[in-house]
Amino acid sequence: MGAGQPVGWAEFGAPGAGPASDDSPSGDSLRAPFLNRPVDQIKARAEWKPGARHIALASAEAFGARWSGTFDRREPSGDWQFALSADRLSAANLDRWLNPAWRQSFLDRMLPFLNSRAQTSAAPENLRAGGRLTLDTFTLEPLVVRHLQGDLKIDGRHIVLADATGQFYGGQVSGLFGADLSASPAYSADLDFAGVDISSLAAATPALDGFTAESAAGQLSLVAHGANRADLLASLTCQGSVRATGAELLSFDLQESLGGQSQDTGATRFPSGSATFTCAQRMIDIQTLSLATSADSSANGSGRIDFSRNLDLRLRMSSALAPGGDAPAASFRITGPLAAPKFALPQPPPRRSR
């Protein structure tokens, strides 16, 4: 055994006493310079053996969640390996615990030139750990992923959750999520989703008011940076594709509109649809859009949707049964809010006087 290596064990917070309650709190606390709040109600047993460290965490409260699991390290300078689980975790609580901006006082924010303290890092450069993470629920308001699990790797301020899988509104989501926890954090994600019940998703997401679908699948890659929600939305860029079955606009009747009738009532159902898109500067650019209106006809085109859910779609009807070149395809435009779209035929070019 090398000099200075302890052998033995220690218990913290009486780990055999059962979980803490509001009426009878127990357990120790731990403060770290890169966390805005302490880890509370710690109940654990730590064991030191030659060439090995093992911590059995019976329970702890951090990031608004209750945790349990194990930590192991084989070499004194090696990386920690862990298996951790929690009942719930939210992006909002992660921000409150890790974002350095939450550590600033009122005077710091109003009079920053008086602040002589060095900026505190969101995570230490020398922190190295990896293992399995399991969450009953993860919330990114207003979205919720259930039974999320994946391989978490912490390399200083860089965090990656790889091979992640979870249940997402009747379907599945999988992929990779990365974060660089600097003073202005940066985030990225590469996600695949399938079998998502859009009606359930729409019920939880006001942004989808006026639209529903039986199911959807696709891919999404995104990058954003910033220390607050406004900065994240302003910097967000993305690209992806989506395929849907049974899509429906609830306040728009396409056939009535094409026939010159009132468009204030009715709905339009598309048996299937697909789109490819990118986003930047608070705008979703739909590069290709194809909506089947029946077994033998479809509406195809492109357009934009801003982050306030305002539409500007330019589409053209086509039919597999129409003789080629016999009649021009009907072109039209859909504008207005997603909850109440408006139909318009293209304006003819002005006639030139002779």
pLDDT tens digits, one per residue of 37-71: 899 999 999 998 888 899 999 999 999 999 999 99
C-alpha to C-alpha distances, 211 to 231, 248, 262, 299, 314, nearest whole angstrom:
28, 6, 19, 17, 18
* Structure-block tokens of residue 39: 């880890």
Mean pLDDT of 17-31: 63
User: Residue type for 33, please?
Assistant: P
Query: Would you say 290 and 298 are in contact if contact means Cβ atoms under 8 Å apart?
Result: yes
Look up the pTM and report it: 0.81
pLDDT band, very low/low/confident/very high, at 320 (cuts 50, 70, 90): low
Cα dihedral sign for 51, 57, 61, 62?
positive
3-state SS, residue 23: coil
Bridge partners, residue 219, by sequence = 192, 241
Query: Would you say 165 and 148 are in contact if contact means Cβ atoms under 8 Å apart?
Result: yes
SS3 assignment for 185-251: CEEEEEEEEEEECHHHHHHHCHHHCCEECCEEEEEEEEEEECCCHHHHHHHCEEEEEEEEEEEEECC
Tens-digit pLDDT profile for residues 264-316: 668 889 999 999 999 999 999 999 999 999 878 899 999 999 999 999 999 99
What count of other Cβ atoms lies within 10 Å of the Cβ of residue 112?
9
Whether residue 142 has pLDDT greater than 80: yes
Nearest to 249 by CA among 133, 162, 342, 138: 342
Nearest to 83 by CA among 70, 96, 94, 92: 70
Q: What is the CA radius of gyration of the chain?
A: 27
Between strands 283-292 and 342-344, the pairing is unpaired
34 vs 63: CA distance, rounded Å: 13
DSSP letter (8 states) at residue 25: -
Residue of higher predicted confidence among 232 and 22 = 232
pLDDT band, very low/low/confident/very high, at 25 (cuts 50, 70, 90): low
Mean pLDDT of 325-331: 61
User: Residue type for 305, please?
Assistant: I
pLDDT of amino acid 349: 60
pLDDT of amino acid 321: 59
Average pLDDT in the chain: 84
213 vs 229: CA distance, rounded Å: 28
Whether residue 24 has pLDDT greater than 50: no
The torsion defined by the Cα of 298, 304, 309 and 312, in degrees rounded to 10, comes to -70
pLDDT of amino acid 295: 79
180 vs 155: CA distance, rounded Å: 10
Whether residue 116 has pLDDT greater than 50: no
123 vs 186: CA distance, rounded Å: 13
Tens-digit pLDDT profile for residues 57-114: 999 999 999 999 999 998 777 889 999 999 999 988 888 888 766 665 444 444 544 4
Tens-digit pLDDT profile for residues 222-267: 999 987 788 888 999 999 999 999 999 888 888 888 777 665 668 8
Mean pLDDT of 337-341: 89
pLDDT of amino acid 162: 97
Mean pLDDT of 118-125: 53
Query: Would you say 228 and 234 are in contact if contact means Cβ atoms under 8 Å apart?
Result: no
Tens-digit pLDDT profile for residues 184-220: 789 999 999 999 999 899 888 888 888 899 999 999 9
